[in-house]
Amino acid sequence: MPPPSDIVKVAIEWPGANAQLMEIDQKKPLSSIIREVCDGWSLSGSEQFALRYADGPQLYITEQSRSEIKNGTILRLAISPARAARQLLDRIQSHGIDTRLEALKELAKLSADPTFATEFISMEGIGTLARLVESGTHFGEMLAFTLTAFLELMDHGIVSWDLISLSFIKQIAGYVNQPMVDVSILQRSLAILESMVLNSHSLYHRVAQEITVGQLIGHLSNQEIQTYAIALINALFLKAPEDRRQEEHTNPLDQRLTEMASTLAQKHLRSIILNHVIRGNRPIKAEMAHQLYVLQVLTFNLLEERMMTKMDPSDQAQRDIIFELRRIAFDGENDPSGTEKRKAMYTKDYKMLGFTNHVNPAMDFTQTPPGMLALDNMLYLAKLHQDTYIRIVLENSSREDKHECPFGRCAIELTRMLCEILQVGELPNEGCNDYHPMFFTHDRAWEEFFCVCIQLLNKTWKEMRATAEDFNKVMQVVREQITRTLAMKPSSLDQLKGKLRGLSYSEILRLRQSERMSQDDFQSPPIIELRERIQPEILELIKQQRLNRLCEGSCFRKLGNRRRQEKFWFCRLSLNHKVLHYGDLDESPQGEVPFELLTDKIPVSDIKSVVTGKDCPHMKEKSALKQNKEVLEQAFSILYDPDENLNFVAPNKYEYCIWTDGLCALLGREMGSDLTRSDLDTLISMEMKLRLLDLENITIPEAPPPVPKEPSTYNFTYNYG
């Protein structure tokens, strides 16, 4: 009979004694169980003891956590959390250095336990540790253990970070700013500063005044601490007030970390992260990947203000940007002098630029997102990639076949799409590691990304031969091209371009079809129904192909009982499918053998059945039983009246399947070879893809007519095995 669910069997250890094997009743108070354990070793004062796990983090067991004890768990009897906290607090304040070091080492380990932490903090333990740090008398290993214990205790959230003194912050910041500090101390100091920033608004300002960008850049080349340095950069960036993020300063390396926006745009910081972190000689671990993702998100979030800013049509400075786009594209220096003529020309030019509102294109930028960010992207393309910009605009403005790609409308919608894909304006997700190395390879990565994608959009538009009515469909394809490419994690913008070139519209269609025809899709009711409708047509196609192959005929090897020169014979079906002709040959033929050379024949009406393998008469003979497995698997016989048979051994598995299936089709029986099943699946898949493709393609007037779907149009070649 199994033990009750409230009973768990455990082993309990005590230093210097044999372990006790006990059955713990989870209904009994924990204090009673501890008393029984102490009695087993004749220990008095059971209230001074507690149970801990012997393995792993070795956490204390409480009434709240005892339900997690499983059968076979090894526990350890230890002094109670309160007693341990008091002893350690006394020892870390002792004058003996060795005693203090051992106490701090044990404290650093125990501080991760919430039960112990509660007791230690209640005894003003955090204040004691803070004073030890502020004194500046601890160094090396002793200081590292002190900082570890402090951080672990604070992470429990029992006390507020706002209680931390300014002198403590200055001391921790001093460790970060010192050129020669032990790695373990630097790691813990950076982690403490990060926690201060994330958990206290007031401490953010204090920390930001103590740390500069240049000081943190020096730590990014050290692989042991670069994760902590980037985490602190992210924390300060995340908590920076909006007005402070946008400030500009003369020397970015001397900036305080309250001005992160202008800092992160600086080439030096970006190149350090790229060369020493992303392209470093060590693989990027999960925590570093997360921090790079956070940095990427926070950097793109700087675009949110422009993304959510509507254009003011009455603002002349903003309207001048649109004028500049027109001037670059059409060389606006030759404007007519008259107001009405100039207005008419502007309207025509704005239409050629692809704006929706030809009279006042400023109205195109009043929707948010993407707001003014779209105009920023367009101006960047026009100024920094002028040839590309002019080419895109002019090649579309000169077209008169309704296939022109409206640059302005496309650029605005593309900007909105990119904001959605890269989640501009959203906070980073915990546990997400989805950073893109290429965004760290250029100082204006966002703008360059847009420039690559607008060229992709123009190219895809032409490949689809789209019109204005197809705008949304083109944008869907472009979104898929971009998201699929981003999933490949290109390491540079050049690699991005190369991968996008490989994802043409036709390739996207192929991938869609391939995925649609996956196993899961085949199980959906519409696909099953379509398959059942197609199958009879495909089976008839396969049947006709098999019969056509029988009409062409095949050469077979004659089997003999003695070793002699090899002989051949040939067999083929008459074109009216009524007679099988066969006859001996002196050698293997090269091509088709005329019916006149085949002297023997069997009327199809006389055939009773077709048998294979061991059921064949020539495989039942004593000598034939010694034939190898391959011969047996490729043997078949035709049984016909009166009690006669024609025996075959096919030259290969393919011919075997062709002939056995063809003979079955000739006799009106089911074709059941592996080849037929394979052909059936392949051809059904092909036909389904073609039909689904017909539903998806844009109507292209200039395109050639689609290939007819009649069975006779299929021409397929087998490559069996």
pLDDT digits (tens, 9 = 90+) for 516-572: 666 555 566 777 777 788 888 888 988 999 999 999 999 988 765 444 445 788 999
Domain 7-79 has CATH 3.50.50.60: no
> What does the pLDDT read at residue 212?
77
Residue entry with tokens 């059942």: 532
For the beta sheet containing 607-612, the strands, ordered from the edge strand earlier in sequence to the opposite edge, are 607-612, 635-640, 644-649
How far apart are alpha carbons 484 and 460 in whole angstroms?
A: 15
Map 132-183 to HEC letters.
HHHHCCCCHHHHHHHHHHHHHHHHCCCCCHHHCCHHHHHHHHHHHHCCCCCH
> What does the pLDDT read at residue 254?
47
Question: CATH 2.30.29.30 occupies which residues in the chain?
Answer: 535-678
Torsion of CA 494, 495, 501, 502, to 10 degrees: 170
Domain 535-678 has CATH 2.30.29.30: yes
Contact (Cβ atoms closer than 8 angstroms) between residue 358 and residue 350: yes
Instruction: Write out pLDDT tens, residues 628-671.
Output: 666 788 889 999 877 788 999 888 888 889 999 999 989 888 88
How far apart are alpha carbons 120 and 110 in whole angstroms?
A: 10
Contact (Cβ atoms closer than 8 angstroms) between residue 499 and residue 488: yes
Using N-to-C axis directions, what is the helix angle for 372-384 and 386-397, rounded to 10°? 110
Where the chain has pLDDT below 70, the residues are: 1-4, 242-266, 332-339, 400-401, 516-524, 559-566, 621-630, 688-721
For the beta sheet containing 7-13, the strands, ordered from the edge strand earlier in sequence to the opposite edge, are 20-25, 7-13, 74-79, 49-53
Largest separation between any pair of C-alpha atoms in the chain: 117
Residue entry with tokens 């007031």: 202
Query: Please, is 339 exposed, middle or buried when counting C-beta atoms within 10 Å of its C-beta (0-12, 13-18, 19+)?
Result: exposed
How far apart are alpha carbons 165 and 161 in whole angstroms?
A: 9
Question: CATH 3.10.20.90 occupies which residues in the chain?
Answer: 7-79
How far apart are alpha carbons 550 and 575 in whole angstroms?
A: 9
pTM, entire model:
0.68
User: Using the 8-state DSSP alphabet, how is residue 573 labeled?
Assistant: E
How far apart are alpha carbons 560 and 653 in whole angstroms?
A: 21
> What does the pLDDT read at residue 261?
46
> What does the pLDDT read at residue 342?
75
